Chain A
Amino acid sequence: MHRFANPTRFLRWARVLTPALTLAGLATTAVGLWLGLFASPPDYQQGESVRIMYVHVPAAWLASGGYFGMAVASAVALVWRHPLAAIAARAIAPVGALFTAICLVTGSLWGKPTWGTYWVWDARLTSMLVLLFLYLGYLGLAAAEDERHGGDPAQGRAAAILALVGVVNLPIIKFSVEWWNTLHQGPSITLTKSTIDPAMLRPLLISLAGFTLVFAGVVLMRMRAALARTRTAARGRRLAEAYA
């Protein structure tokens, strides 16, 4: 594991992977959304409004998936003190928060024509809003502790602990629609079956793959930027010392 976690080696891989993942992701997203928005059938109950699904569902999966990634990176940062892990967690946070916001906004816009309301405080909607607050809390706490540590994310612990505590919300989001009566419907896709017609499932999965690749590309881009900032700052300090 340490072989891949070496920042220099990481940068060599990331330089190639960042544009590759981002471009492949944008192309795949374009295909998925075109199929979803224009070349797939309307729903037998909801009609055309079902097309919001092709944005809402990938955003929801990445909101939770991104948080899980951020928590794993935080655990690695806490236990193994690896500098890349803290940088990775901080790189994921704003992207995950953005996808959570996209999920909430598209869900709200989808709720009005189908359910008849933009928002209700049922367990699924509420736990998803809590996820957004966890992301925002993490971003605030990470910014505050990094400032105290001269911009070095590897020294802080508070944000990583917050990220790990927030993990309890992930199973609550997942199972909220099964544990309690909610306005939000139950899961359509499980490991063994899907209740989405293949004509709609295909564009959804393509869109999901595209969103995921873009997510990964943007996270790598942010990690490279963070490493570049650290190196520039270190070089600045060295020069300042040399001329002092």
Chain B
Amino acid sequence: MTRRLRPKHQRLVLLAAALVALGGASALALTTLGDQATYFYAPSDVLAHAPEAGRAIRLGGLVERGSVEKAGTLTRFRVTDNAHEVAVAYTGIVPDLFREGQGVITEGRFAPGGVFVADTVLAKHDEKYMPPEVAGSLHKVGRVG
């Protein structure tokens, strides 16, 4: 004689199986999605796989220290991921948080000379929050960039 599962337990087993299947399907979907969901490429990515000429991409990284040159509304700087860097030219107003050593995301395309001409520049800040005086003392001891 086989003992039948109580309905409550039957439903529990069904729910657990459904959640495992759902989790597995999502994991597969996310693995396949991979880098498709990335918002921007790092300099190393675009140098390793050069985008087609004239194709709009987003390039992100840190604004290289000492690379920013301003002439009127034209801003020239280099985006780095600490391995490679790309020269960027942008005409327009940069966000307040656009600073050397801070994160940046630019949207645009490569000009024939290899310079990335950006139509949009967004500032990306990091996950650190602190008062200016704390940041000041950290800068003195060299803990923050």
> B7-30: contact bitstring with A at CB < 8 Å (1 yes, 0 no)?
010011001001100110010001
Partner of B131 from A44, A115, A182 at Cβ < 8 Å: A44
Q: Indicate whether B73 reaches chain A with its CB closer than 8 angstroms.
A: no
Partner of A115 from B41, B122, B136 at Cβ < 8 Å: B122
* Residue in B closest to A176 when the chains form the complex, CB atoms: B37
CB-based contact A79/B131 at 8 Å: no
Q: Tell me how far the C-beta of A186 lies from the nearest C-beta in chain B, rounded to whole angstroms.
A: 5
* Residue in A closest to B121 when the chains form the complex, CB atoms: A116
Residues of B95-133 at the interface with A, using a CB-CB cut-off of 8 Å, are 95-99, 102-103, 105, 121-133
> Which residues does B use to contact A, with CB under 8 Å?
8, 11-12, 15, 18-19, 22-23, 26, 30, 35, 37-42, 60, 94-99, 102-103, 105, 121-136
Partner of A44 from B23, B35, B121, B130 at Cβ < 8 Å: B130
Q: Tell me how far the C-beta of B80 lies from the nearest C-beta in chain A, rounded to whole angstroms.
A: 15
Q: Which chain A residues border B133 with CB–CB below 8 Å? A: 41
Q: 4 nearest interchain CB pairs?
A: A116-B95, A41-B131, A44-B135, A197-B130
CB-based contact B11/A45 at 8 Å: no
CB-based contact B125/A46 at 8 Å: yes
Q: Which chain A residues border B11 with CB–CB below 8 Å? A: 78-79
* Residue in B closest to A117 when the chains form the complex, CB atoms: B122
CB-based contact A197/B134 at 8 Å: yes
Q: A114-B95, A182-B39 are in contact. List 14 more A-B contacts (CB 8 A).
A: A43-B131, A43-B132, A44-B134, A45-B135, A79-B12, A115-B97, A116-B94, A116-B121, A122-B39, A165-B22, A168-B23, A183-B122, A185-B124, A185-B127
- The total of chain A residues at the interface (CB under 8 A) is 41
CB-based contact B130/A200 at 8 Å: yes
**A79-B15, A113-B96, A114-B97 known; A123 and B123 CB under 8 Å?**
no
Q: Which chain B residues border A187 with CB–CB below 8 Å? A: 127
CB-based contact B123/A115 at 8 Å: yes
Q: Which chain A residues border B37 with CB–CB below 8 Å? A: 123, 179-180
Q: Which chain B residues border A41 with CB–CB below 8 Å? A: 131-133
> A81-114: contact bitstring with B at CB < 8 Å (1 yes, 0 no)?
1000000000000000000000000000000011
* Residue in B closest to A190 when the chains form the complex, CB atoms: B127
Report how far A199 CA is from B130 CA in the complex, Å: 8
> A141-152: contact bitstring with B at CB < 8 Å (1 yes, 0 no)?
000000000000
Q: Tell me how far the C-beta of B105 lies from the nearest C-beta in chain A, rounded to whole angstroms.
A: 6
Q: Which chain B residues border A232 with CB–CB below 8 Å? A: none
